[in-house]
Structure 1
Amino acid sequence: MSEKPVRHILGLSGGKDSTALAVLLHKEIPQMEYFFCDTHKELPETYEYLDRIKARLGIKIHYLAAERGFDHWLDVYGGTLPSPNMRWCTVQMKIKPLEQFVGNDEAISYVGIRADENRDGYISTKKNIKPVFPFKERGLVKADIIGLLEDTGIGLPDYYRWRSRSGCFFCFFQRKYEWVMLAEEHPDKFAEALKYEQEHKDGRQYTWNEGETLLELLERKDEIIAQHERSIARKQKESAWKKQSLAQVLDSVLDEEDDALPCLACHL
């Protein structure tokens, strides 16, 4: 019996880096298997962007999902919302569906970490999944990634007008400004995130932001927006940023406001 061929896999997150990696490799590795770990708590813009990627590149995307949804796992963890110190959502709804998808097959996982980033991305504990980093190997940085997306006509996802990371609409790694804009852009999604804060089976209060509820944050809406606009204006005056797009300036400003590393299995 002949050995099974090594599988080539690339996870799409709905973000710019994983998309640019697909642009770079889709002709180079025609047997690539593309997947998206769907929590069913995504922004509508994310699904629209995935449709755009499929249409432009002519690829198929496998939509992976946990057998049990977010609400089930929230109950399992006693109503404790996921947080930077307890990322159960990443484990249960991203990593486990991926590892089930691969099974025991030998696989090469292509990870969209850039040469100008100091992080490793998701590294599986399973020995049969080997990560490789094409951007790092080729010395590609953020400007190269933006160029790849512009050259193909895919561009950036629509949420880049107000948010710079992919992931669930209630991701705890969102900055204050992004929460405010979620309330503006998708009030129904904000209301759902708020409901999760307010309803817990054990009676304790958990918040998406440390030390502040979403209602308290929204009371400071004008202050948060004004501070953000000042940061954007300051950045746009800097010579190195005068020719950059608003999305790139926004990305830089939000990084300055919060340098916490996001879930690396979600945000690429």
Structure 2
Amino acid sequence: MSSQPRVRHIVSLSGGKDSTALAIYLRDRISDLEYVFCDTGEELPETYEYLDRLETVLGKRIERLNPERPFKHYLEIYRGVLPDARTRWCTRKLKIEPFERFVGEDPVYNYIGIRADEPHRKGYISTKPNIIPKYPFIEDGITKADVMRILEESGIGLPEYYEWRSRSGCYFCFFQQRIEWVGLFRKHPEKFQQALEMEKEDLETGERYTWIAGESLKELKDPKRVHEIETSFQKRVTSIGSVAPNTPLAKVFAIDVNDDQGSESCLICHL
């Protein structure tokens, strides 16, 4: 008589605040909990540093999963067409498929850090029938304030990229706000340049493949445009009653100031 397959319990880490808090929250609640991070090879150095610190807090290794081919290989296959919120081929090829290979056909509970104060949130995750999503924060009423408390009490705090960025994910993520592209330009100019060089324009058709709809990174990095973006963002921030003028960006981004880039992000990337 064959034995029943072992049910696995996995937290998919993104390097973001919510999945980090979830890993810490579940650490002593679920035995044999596995932690995985789908490493695209296109992450920020701050993300890798944060994951190293998290391993110390958890007292357990985080399994790094890699795609079969690097991002630029797939970019060539897609003939230079950059991923966007509709296609999301980067998430599928670099995150979801490596995770599904790691899981195989094992029955898995995949724990996702959507909070109780955002149950409406949608996203892009695996749909394999053997991978069952679980939402402990929703079930237990955990809100953003609770997440911040978990991170503070554990000693890990927020990742350093919150100084200029609101979410985890690849340095060229198309879900970034314009102010975050400006932050990348200032903090990691070499990565900004790499992202810029991936943009293309078809001189015959006039069609452009850019990370931001209607604007190239070459246009965005113009000093006048940078000033305009920073000024506009500061006005938007101060219009929020709970945010005082000149509040550090790390605190601003912790309250999720969004712009026109959309909110239905890839959960395996951005929690």
Q: TM-score, normalised by structure 2?
A: 0.90
**What's the CA shift for 1:22?**
0.4
1:154 maps onto 2:156 in alignment: yes
Q: Distance in 2 between matches of 1:53 and 1:253?
A: 22
Q: Aligned to 2:208, what secondary structure does the other structure show?
A: coil
1:222 to 224, 227, 230: 227
Superimposed CA distance per residue, residues 22-71 of structure 1 (whole angstroms, 9 cap, x where no aligned partner): 01001111311100011100000000000010011212111111111101
Displacement of 1:226 in angstroms is 1.5
Shift in CA distance, 169/123, structure 1 to aligned 2, threshold 3 Å: closer
* Paired AA for residue 225 in structure 1: E
Change (3 A) 1:38 1:229: same
Q: Kindly provide the CA deviation profile for residues 195-250 of structure 1, in whole angstroms up to 9, marking residues without a partner as x.
A: 101488x9953100011100111120011112222333443xx3x456x9853433
Task: Report if aligned partners of 1:175, 1:254 keep a CA contact under 8 Å in 2.
Answer: no
Aligned to 1:107: 108
C-alpha displacement of 1:5: 1.4
1:114-171 alpha-carbon deviations (Å, 9 max, x no partner): 1111124444321111111000001111111111100101100000011011000000
Any idea what the Cα deviations from partners look like across 1:8-27, whole Å, max 9, x if unmatched?
01100000000000010011
Is the 8 Å Cα contact of residues 12 and 34 (structure 1) preserved in structure 2? yes
TM-aligned CA distance change 1:157 to 1:60, over 3 Å: same
Distance 1:213 1:164, change over 3 A: same
* Structure 2 residue 57 is the aligned partner of structure 1 residue 56: yes
Unaligned runs of 5+ in 1: none
Give the TM-score of the pair, scaled to structure 1.
0.91
- Tell me if structure 2 keeps the 8 A contact 1:113–1:121: no
1:250 counterpart = 2:246: no
Q: Distance in 2 between matches of 1:174 and 1:111?
A: 21
Distance 1:89 1:246 in 2: 28
Residues 74-122 of structure 1: per-residue CA shift (max 9 Å, x gap) = 1111110001111100111111000000000011100100111112444
The corresponding residue for 1:31 is 32
Q: 1:188 aligns with which of 187, 190, 193?
A: 190
Q: Which residue of 1 aligns with 2:74?
A: 73
Is 1:91 the counterpart of 2:97 in the alignment? no
Equivalent position amino acid for 2:44 in 1: L
Question: Distance in 2 between the 1:152 and 1:195 partners?
Answer: 40
CA distance in 1, matches of 2:156, 2:265: 24
> Is this contact kept in 2: 1:10–1:33, CA < 8 A?
yes
SS at match of 1:173: coil
Supply the distance in 1 between the matched residues of 2:10 and 2:256 (Cα, whole angstroms): 32
RMSD: 2.1
CA distance in 1, matches of 2:233, 2:127: 39
Structure 1 CA distance for aligned equivalents of residues 77 and 238 of structure 2:
45
8 Å contact kept, 1:111–1:121: no
CA change 1:27–1:18 in 2 (3 A) is: same
- Between the two proteins, the alignment pairs up a number of residues equal to 263
- Output the CA distance in 2 between the equivalents of 1:88 and 1:53: 28
Percent of residue pairs identical: 52
- The code of the aligned residue for 1:176 comes to R
Q: Which one-letter code corresponds to 1:206 in the other structure?
A: Y
Equivalent residues of 1:177, 1:225 under 8 A apart: yes
Give me the whole-angstrom Cα distance separating, in 1, the residues matched to 2:144 and 2:248.
13
What secondary structure is seen at the aligned counterpart in 1 of 2:132?
strand
Pick closer, same or farther for the CA change 1:253–1:32 going to 2, 3 Å.
closer
- The whole-number CA distance in structure 1 between the counterparts of 2:171 and 2:252 is 22
Matches of 1:123 and 1:87, distance apart in 2: 11
AA of the residue aligned to 1:263? C
Q: Which residue of 2 aligns with 1:8?
A: 9
From the two aligned structures, give the one with the greater helix fraction. 1
Deviation at 1:251, TM superposition (A): 3.8
Aligned residue among 193, 212, 216 for 1:213 = 216
